[in-house]
């Protein structure tokens, strides 16, 4: 689910204007790194902080994408298929996107490393209390912007809401529109704080969620290390609307 949905389910109201995401990530990352790794700690940090249960299941696909052929496509596992589809969508919409070598999603101090064209992009099975699906994460670079980047694709469990279906009154950083196939697209921006010793810098979060007619959702999220977003809303929406990024 998206950060916005997690907040909504946990506290029942819109999230605060400013969220100290770095403090949450760092604290939870230190506690959990020995048991589930930096990937899980960065992914689940807001859910854990707010009491929303998350289970990360084995089966990551973190290596190079397999060769594109009919035979190899048929033989791909679901994580491999999703990984290839997601990376193809990123390359199409943001061809100048690069990936930070050796970066940990839970440790922002590692985000300034050298960049590579080989994506360290991991896809994991996730079980939320409210939804099931897949989550993929990585640390990306675009020019001077470094950002935590993830994609959720899943389906809401029976008895749970499917998240925001519109922008709420007074939210100047949120807009909704309709995709080419009638999909509902909700784009939400928020602010955070990057605290490094006595220095506090503004950081930005962006979430674009697509709700499809079959009840599935795709959410693309970025958390930048500066006050500049990694991708535009239009680019993120195009990735989330890609028909190949779907549940198998």
What's the pLDDT tens digit per position in 154-168? 998 887 765 556 676
Tell whether 247 is covered by a domain: no
Q: Is the pLDDT of residue 7 over 50?
A: no
Percent of the chain with pLDDT over 70: 63
pTM above 0.75, yes or no: no
Region of poorest pLDDT, from 18-27, 67-76, 123-132 = 18-27
Is 41 within a domain?
yes
Share of the chain above pLDDT 90, in %: 45
Q: Distance between CA 16 and CA 168 in Å, rounded?
A: 14
Asked whether residue 161 is assigned to any structural domain, the reply reads: yes
Asked if residue 34 belongs to a domain, the reply is yes
The reported pLDDT for the residue numbered 48 is 30
Structural domains of the chain, count: 1
Give the chain's mean pLDDT: 73
What residues make up the domain containing 37?
3-240
Predicted pLDDT of residue 57: 36
Pairing between β-strand 115-116 and β-strand 98-100 as defined by DSSP bridges: antiparallel
Using pLDDT thresholds of 50, 70 and 90, give the confidence band for residue 12: very low
Is residue 10 a part of any domain in this protein?
yes
Kindly list the distances between the CA atom of residue 140 and the CA atoms of 74, 145, 238, in Å, as whole numbers in the listed order.
29, 8, 18
CA–CA gap between residue 156 and residue 5 (Å, rounded): 11
Tell whether 192 is covered by a domain: yes
Q: How far apart are CA 96 and CA 187, in angstroms?
A: 22
Nearest to 209 by CA among 137, 153, 170: 153
Q: What average pLDDT does the segment 7-18 reach?
A: 36
Distance CA 233, CA 197 (A): 32
Domain presence at residue 233: yes
> What are 200-240's pLDDT values in tens digits?
777 889 999 999 988 899 999 999 988 899 999 999 999 99
């Amino acid at each position: 689910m998206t950060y916005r949905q997690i907040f909504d389910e946990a506290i029942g109201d819109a999230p605060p204007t400013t969220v100290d995401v770095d403090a949450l990530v760092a604290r939870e990352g230190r506690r959990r790194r020995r048991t589930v790794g930096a990937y899980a700690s960065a992914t689940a940090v807001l859910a854990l902080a707010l009491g929303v249960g998350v289970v990360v299941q084995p089966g990551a696909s973190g290596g190079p994408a397999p060769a594109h052929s009919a035979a190899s496509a048929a033989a791909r596992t679901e994580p491999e298929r999703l990984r290839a589809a997601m990376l193809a969508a990123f390359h199409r919409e943001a061809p100048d996107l690069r990936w930070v070598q050796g970066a940990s999603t839970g440790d922002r101090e590692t985000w300034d490393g050298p960049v590579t064209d080989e994506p360290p992009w991991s896809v994991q099975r996730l079980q939320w209390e409210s939804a099931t699906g897949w989550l993929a994460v990585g640390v990306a670079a675009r020019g001077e912007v470094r950002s935590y980047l993830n994609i959720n694709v899943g389906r809401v469990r029976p008895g749970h809401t499917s998240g925001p279906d519109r922008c709420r009154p007074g939210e100047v950083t949120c807009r909704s529109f309709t995709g080419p196939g009638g999909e509902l697209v909700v784009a939400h921006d928020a602010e955070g704080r990057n605290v490094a010793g006595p220095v506090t810098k503004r950081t930005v979060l962006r979430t674009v969620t697509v709700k499809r007619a079959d009840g599935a959702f795709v959410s693309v999220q970025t958390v930048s290390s500066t006050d500049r977003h990694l991708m535009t809303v239009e680019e993120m929406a195009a990735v989330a609307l890609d028909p190949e990024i779907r549940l198998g």
